[in-house]
Chains A and B, each alone.
Chain A
Amino acid sequence: MRLLIRNGRAVDPASGLDAKRDVLIDRDRIVAIEPRIECPDAEVLDASGLVVAPGFVDIHVHLREPGIEHAETIESGTRAAAAGGFTAVCCMPNTLPVNDSAQVTSFIVERARRTATVHVHPIGAISKGSKGERLADIGAMRSEGAVAISDDGIPVMDSGLMRRAMKYAASFGITVIDHCEDLSLSAGGDIHEGLQSMRLGLGGIPGCSEDVMVARDIILAADTGSRVHIAHISTANSIAMVRHAKRMGIPVTSEVTPHHFALADEKIPGYDSNFKMKPPLRTQRDIDAAIEGLADGTIDCIATDHAPHTGHIKMQEFERCPFGITGLETALALSLKTLYHAGTADLKHLVGLFTSAACECLGLDRGRLRAGGPADITVFSTEREWVYDVHSTLSKSKNSPFGGESFRGGPAATIVSGKVVWTAGGGIATRPPSAPANKMPSFQPTTRIQPR
C-alpha cells in the first residue's frame, strides 16, 4: 500500500527544506522525498498549491477520558485533532481519576491504541490526585508512556514539592510542564484584571498571578537543572522573564495558545462564557509581546490547550462556568491569520512552531519530514477561504469563541502512519490508523486522490 503526495511545497524546519517535492509513503514510513517521483502502483494525493509538512504535534490538550466522557473522549478528541491537522497530541492528566499512576497511564495508552485517530502521548500528574501534596508515580508513568508531568489546571503552589518534582523528573529525563498561576492572586477571578473586568463587574485575574509563578519556576529550573516548560504563557512580563532565562542558559521553554495571540480581553462580548479560560485573554500589549516572543524564539511553540466542556456546563452564569475553550480545529487557521498573513512569521517558522520546536520542548521523537521516518504528515493550504462552523465540530463540545469566524488557509489533509485520516472535503476516515485500512476518503474540492 503506497501513497504518493505529489506537487506539494514540502516544508521541514528541522532540515531546512522548503521546496517543491513529491513524497512517497510505503505503509507507515516515508520512503522518499524527491523533486519528482514516479510510482505507477501508488495512490496519488495531488498537493498542488498546498504545503506538505511534518505531522503537527499539539503538546497541550484535554481529552477528558477517563471520567468526563460527556465532554470529550480519546476518540472524539483525536478526530478533532485530525481535523485540525494534528497527527499527535499530548493529553493533560486532569481526568477522573487523575492520571497519576501507571494504571491510568496505561489505560489511556490502550484506549488510544483502540480508538484514537492520531497518536496520543499521555502527560502524567506531578502530584497524587493533583492535590499538590505528594509526588505521583512519576517513574512508573514514564515507563508506561507518559512524556511529561504537569498538574495543569490545579497548579502546584508548594514550592518545595515543585522543586522535588523537578529534581526527580529530571532523573527520568522528562520535562515538567507548569500551568503558572498563583492561586492566591487569581482567586475569585473570571477574566483578566483590567478595564474590561471592572466594566463588567467580574473578578480580575491579574497578570502578576502568572508572573510570580513563572519567576519561581525559572529559579527552580536553574536550581535543579530540570527542563521546565511554561504552558500557555500569556503576559508580557512572563515572556520577558523567559527570554532572560534562556539567555542565561536555564533549561526553560514555553508555549502560547492561538487564542492568546489572536484575542484581547477588550474583545470579550459581554458575559459570553466561550471567552472564559485560564489564563484569561490579556491585553494588546501582551499580544504584541507574544508575537515578538514567537518571532525571537522566546516562545518555542504553539499549543491549543483544547479544553472541551459540554453545552449545559458552559451555559451558566459567567462566573459559575468552568474555564477553557476548544481549539484543535482552529489553531492552524488562527496562526496563519495572525502570524503568517500578518507577516510576522514565514512558513518554515510557522510549521516549526507546530512540529519540530514543539517536539523539542518535551523531547519527542517526532515533527520531522524525512525518508525513513514515520509517515505522519500534515497537508495544508495557506489560501483556502473557509468559515469555521462550530456546530459541525468533530469534538464532543462546542465551546469555541471562533464559531462563524472566516479564515484564509487551514488544514487540507492529515496523514497518520501512512493513512489519510482526514481531508478538508471528505471529513474523517472512520477507522483509526491501527485498524485495517479503510476506503480512501475523497479529497474535495481543491485536490483529489486519484486511484491508479
Chain B
Amino acid sequence: MPTLLSRGPSPRSLLGIEHLQRPEIERLLERGTHYKSVPPFMKLDTLRGRSIVNLFFEPSTRTRTSFEIAAKRLGADTIDIQALGSSLSKGESLVDTLNTLAAMNPDIIVMRHSASGAPHFLSRYLSTPMINAGDGRHEHPTQALLDALTILEVKGTLEGLRVAIIGDISHSRVARSNIHLLGSFGADIVLCGPATTVSENMTRLAPGVSLTYDMREAVRDADVVMMLRVQLERQNVEVFPKNEYFRYFGLTLEHVQLAKQEAIVLHPGPINRGREITSEVADSQRSMILSQVENGVAIRMAVLEWVCSEQDGRKRCAS
C-alpha cells in the first residue's frame, strides 16, 4: 500500500487530506496565512531554480492558474502540460507519460486526473514528489485547505463550527477532502443532497458527520454553507432529475436567513447561477467565493514550499 504522506528516502507528496495529521494541516494553514500577507507584487526566491510541471488531464482554469501563479510567486519555473496536447492521445499509458516527464527531473509534478487514485497509483512508480490537484471523485486536498483558510479568516477557528455541505456529494472530491479536514478539527458536518448522491457510508468517513435530505434542516444554524458544483460529467447515468435540482437543493436568500447570522457561503467554482445558487446569494456579503480564489494562491504557495522543503535535505537548493 502506498503511503500517502511519505517521508525519509521517498519524496514527500500531497496526495490527499485523509492521511495528513492535524499538526501538518495547521502548519500548512499557518504558512498559507503568512503568504497571504505577502504583497502579490513581491516575487520571492523560495523555490528559485525549481521546476514544477503542471499536468492537467482534465480541463481546469482556476486550479491550474492558481498553481501556476503560486509557483511563479515563489520564483519557480513552471511547465504547463494539458492532456489533449500530450502523448496520451497517441495511446501512451499514464505510467509511460509520467516516466518520461520524471526523466526530465522536475522537482514537483502537480497533477489533475479524471481517475480516482491516479496520483496514488503513479506515486508507487515515481520518485518525483506529486501534488494532487484533484483525482476523479476522490480528493482535492488544496481545495479543502483553501476552504479551511477562508473559514479561519472569518471565524477564527474550525472547531465546533456547524458546516453544511450541499450538493452532489458522492461524486465530489471537494466534499471528501473537506469532510476529512473539517472532521479532524472537530467540526459538526451536515451533508445534504439528492438521496442518490449521498450515501450513509459518507457519514462514516469522519467523526461528526450527519446526513439529511432536507435543505432547510441542513442550513439551519450553520456557520458555513458549502455548496458543491453539480458534476453531471461524473455521472454515468442521470442520478437525479436535474430540472428540479434547484427547487430542492439550490441555495437561496431564504436559506441563508435560516443559518447563523454571521454565516458564510462557500463554493469551489465555477458557479452555476440558477442551478446551485441564486445570483443574490453568490453576490452577497455572505459569499466568500472570491476570497476562496485569492486564498487558493496562498495555500498553494504553502503546499509547494512544504513539498519542496522535504527535498532540501536530499537535494541542493538553488539559492
Q: Do A and B bind each other?
A: yes
Chain A positions within 8 Å of B, measured between CB atoms, are 187-188, 194-195, 197-203, 269-272, 312, 315-320
Q: List 16 A-B contacts (CB under 8 A).
A: A187-B236, A195-B201, A195-B205, A198-B199, A198-B204, A199-B18, A201-B138, A201-B173, A201-B176, A269-B2, A270-B120, A271-B2, A271-B121, A316-B94, A316-B95, A320-B115
- A270-B117, A319-B117 known; 18 new pairs, CB 8 Å cut-off, are A187-B236, A194-B201, A198-B201, A199-B176, A199-B205, A200-B117, A200-B138, A201-B173, A202-B137, A270-B2, A270-B120, A271-B116, A271-B120, A316-B94, A316-B95, A317-B115, A317-B117, A319-B115
B116 close to A201 (CB less than 8 A): yes
Does B93 contact A316, Cβ atoms closer than 8 Å? yes
Contact A317 B94 (CB under 8 A): yes
Closest-CB distance, A87 to chain B (whole angstroms): 37
Chain A residues in 8 Å Cβ range of B176: 199, 201
Asked if residues A315 and B117 are in contact (CB atoms below 8 Å), the reply is no
Q: Which residues of the partner chain B approach A316 to less than 8 Å between Cβ atoms?
A: 93-95, 121
Is B112 at the interface (CB under 8 A from chain A)?
no
| A49 to B121 CA separation, bound complex (whole angstroms) | 44
Interface residue? B31 (CB, 8 A): no
Q: A271-B117, A315-B93 are in contact. Are A198 and B1 (CB under 8 A)?
A: no
Minimal beta-carbon separation of A188 from chain B (angstroms): 4
B276 on the interface (CB 8 Å rule)?
Answer: no
B135 at the interface (CB under 8 A from A): yes
Query: How many angstroms between the C-alpha atoms of A195 and B170 in the bound complex?
Result: 11
Write the chain B residue with the least CB distance to A204.
B199
* Nearest chain A residue, comparing its CB with the CB of B204: A195
Q: Which residues of chain B are within 8 angstroms of A318 by Cβ–Cβ distance?
A: 115-117, 121
| Contact A272 B1, CB 8 Å, known A194-B201, A318-B121, A319-B136 | yes
Let me know if A201 and B236 touch, CB within 8 A. Answer: no
The 8 Å CB contact of B136, one of A198, A199, A201, is A201
B201 in contact with A269 (CB, 8 Å): no
Query: Is B71 among interface residues, defined by CB-CB distance under 8 A?
Result: no
Q: Contact partner of A317 among B18, B121, B170, CB < 8 A?
A: B121
Q: Which residues of B contact A312 (CB under 8 A)?
A: 93
With A and B bound together, what is the CA distance between A270 and B173 in angstroms?
16
Interface size class of B (residues with CB under 8 A): 20 to 34
Are A317 and B113 in touch, CB under 8 angstroms?
A: yes
Interface residues of B in 267-284 (CB under 8 A from A): none
Contact at A198–B94, with CB atoms within 8 Å?
A: no
Which residue on A lies nearest to B4, using beta carbons?
Answer: A270
CA separation between A320 and B113, bound complex, in Å? 12
Residue of A nearest to B171 (CB): A201
The answer for the CA separation of A194 and B136 in the assembled complex, in Å, is: 18
Q: Are B117 and A201 in contact (CB under 8 A)?
A: yes
Instruction: Tell me the complex Cα distance, A312–B176, Å.
Output: 30
Please report the C-alpha to C-alpha distance between residue A397 and residue B170 in the assembled complex, in whole angstroms.
35
B237 at the interface (CB under 8 A from A): yes
Q: A-B pairs with the 3 shortest C-beta distances?
A: A201-B138, A271-B117, A269-B1
- Tell whether, in the assembled complex, residue A200 and residue B237 are in contact, meaning their CB atoms are under 8 Å apart: no
Chain A residues, Cβ within 8 Å of B95: 315-316
Q: Is B69 an interface residue (CB 8 A)?
A: no
Contacts of A269 in B (CB 8 A): 1-2
Q: How far is the CA of A270 from the CA of B131 in the complex (A)?
A: 17
Structural contact, A201 and B201, CB atoms closer than 8 A: no
**Given A270-B1, A312-B93, does the pair A201, B135 have CB atoms closer than 8 Å?**
yes
The CA-CA distance from A245 to B230 in the complex, in Å, is: 44
- Docked complex Cα distance between A312 and B92 (Å): 11
Distance in Å from the Cβ of A286 to the closest Cβ of chain B?
16
Shortest Cβ distance from A195 into B: residue:
B201
Taking the closest CB of chain B, its distance from the CB of A202, in whole angstroms, is 5
- From B1, B18, B117, B204, give the contact of A202 (CB < 8 A): B117
CA distance A315 to B125 in the complex (A): 10
* Pair A200/B116 contact, Cβ less than 8 Å: yes
The smallest C-beta distance from B210 to any residue of chain A, in angstroms, reads 15
Q: How far is the CA of A8 from the CA of B2 in the complex (A)?
A: 45
Contacts of A271 on B, CB cut-off 8 Å?
A: 2, 116-117, 120-121
CA distance A272 to B201 in the complex (A): 22
Q: Does B118 contact A (CB under 8 A)?
A: yes
Q: Quick one: which of B180-200 are within 8 Å of A by CB?
A: 199
Q: How far is the CB of B91 from chain A (nearest CB, A)?
A: 12
Contact bitstring B201-217, A, C-beta under 8 A = 1, else 0: 11011000000000000
* Interfacial chain A residues near B107, Cβ < 8 Å: none
Is the beta-carbon distance between B18 and A319 smaller than 8 angstroms? no
What mask results when residues 123 to 153 of chain B are scored 1 for a CB within 8 Å of chain A, else 0? 0000000000001111100000000000000
In angstroms, Cα B274 to Cα A171, docked, is 62
B1, B139, B201: most-surrounded residue (chain A CB, <10 A): B201
What is the chain B residue whose CB lies nearest that of A187?
B236
- The B90-126 residues at the A interface (CB cut-off 8 A) are 93-95, 113, 115-118, 120-121
Distance A65 CA – B217 CA, assembled complex (angstroms): 59
CA distance A315 to B201 in the complex (A): 29
Contact between A202 and B93, CB atoms less than 8 A apart: no
Most chain-B Cβ atoms within 10 A of its Cβ — which of A187, A188, A270? A270
Task: Quote the shortest CB–CB distance from A323 to chain B (angstroms).
Answer: 16
Best-buried of A203, A271, A316, A318 by chain B (most CB within 10 Å): A271
Using Cβ atoms and an 8 Å threshold, which residues of chain A touch B135? 201
| Bound CA span A343–B3, Å | 35
Chain A residues in 8 Å Cβ range of B237? 187-188
* CB nearest neighbor in A for B237: A187
The complex places the Cα of A187 from the Cα of B236 at a distance, in Å, of 8
Give B136 Cβ to nearest chain A Cβ, in Å.
5
Q: Which residues of B contact A320 (CB under 8 A)?
A: 115
Shortest A358–chain B CB gap in Å is 34
Shortest distance in angstroms between A272's beta carbon and chain B's nearest beta carbon? Answer: 7
In Å, the complex CA distance between A317 and B57 comes to: 13
A198–B202 contact, CB under 8 A?
A: yes
Instruction: Give the residues in chain A near B1, CB-CB below 8 Å.
Output: 269-270, 272
Contact B2 A198 (CB under 8 A): no
Q: Which residue of A lies closest to B139 (CB)?
A: A201
With a cutoff of 8 Å between Cβ atoms, the chain B residues found around residue A197 in the complex are: 201
Query: A202's closest neighbor in chain B, by CB?
Result: B116
Q: Which residue of B lies closest to A269 (CB)?
A: B1
**Which A residue sits closest to B169, measured CB to CB?**
A198
Rounded to whole angstroms, the CA-CA distance of A269 and B139 in the bound complex is 17
In the complex, residue of chain A having the shortest beta-carbon distance to the beta carbon of B117: A271
Closest chain A residue to B173, Cβ basis: A201
C-alpha spacing A374/B123, complex, angstroms: 52
Q: Is B116's CB under 8 angstroms from A319's CB? A: yes
Q: In the complex, A315 Cα to B176 Cα: how many Å?
A: 26
In the complex, what residues of A have CB within 8 A of residue B2's CB? 269-271
